Amino acid sequence: MALQVELLEASFARIKERQTDFTDCFYAILFKDYPDVKPLFAHVSMDDQSKKLFDSLALVVRGLRNPEALMEPLKGLGTRHVQYGAVPAHYPAVGATLLQAFANILQEDWTSEVEWAWANAYSIIAQIMLEGSEYPPELLQPKALVERASL
Ligand code: HEM
């Protein structure tokens, strides 16, 4: 995995200082830009959910120096997401939302290098999660993902 560990760690340390602002911002953008995903979260406590999202990002950042150890947990997370109603096309939507929320919180520290590092990290994470899920192959084609990313 070609990841820019130091950039990811340093930028995430800044996000950590503003954890609640970050998660509030993330879900506000997600539900505004992709209202179709809202029903998936209807029964979920958003406080708990925000904490879980943040903890999973923290876990990934902590694991970056030993990425092999992240493979099985991320595949398992992907498997569980099939039960949650997530489909492959949701992954680019969540990725775009994540980058936007980072940008809002980091402001001038959201440089193009940091953006690239997170975009790359997210696409690797999403790919591993998707490997752990059993979607029909046609749903995993890049074309299908792009077409449905504007859900
Ligand atoms: C890198 C991508 C993602 C990460 C790291 C992530 C992380 C998590 C974590 C840690 C949980 C808590 C439950 C568990 O551990 O199984 C969760 C729950 C959930 N995620 Fe994600 N997620 C990602 C992508 C997505 C996508 C693309 C969707 C689709 C909209 C989604 C929708 C949900 C929903 C609906 C739940 C609540 C499940 C429930 O309690 O019923 N997630 N996510």
- Count CA within 13 A, CB hemisphere, residue 146: 3
Q: Closest ligand 1 atom to the C-alpha of 122?
A: 1
pLDDT of residue 146 exceeding 60, the answer is no
Scanning the structure block, which residue is given the tokens 């749903």?
139
Sequence ranges of the domains in the chain: 5-148
| Cβ(54) – ligand 1 distance below 6 Å | no
Q: Which of 2, 22, 27 is nearest to 12 (CA)?
A: 22
- Phi first, then psi, for residue 18 (nearest 5°) are -130, 50
Q: How far is the CA of 72 from the centre of ligand 1 (A)?
A: 16
Give the class (CATH, top level) of 5-148.
mainly alpha
Residues 6+ away with beta carbon under 8 Å from 112: none
The per-residue pLDDT for range 98-142, each reduced to its tens digit, is 999 999 999 999 999 999 999 999 999 999 999 999 887 777 766
| Cβ(126) – ligand 1 distance below 6 Å | yes
| Cβ(91) – ligand 1 distance below 6 Å | yes
Q: Which of 119, 127, 117, 124 is nearest to 100 (CA)?
A: 119
Q: Closest ligand 1 atom to the C-alpha of 126?
A: 1
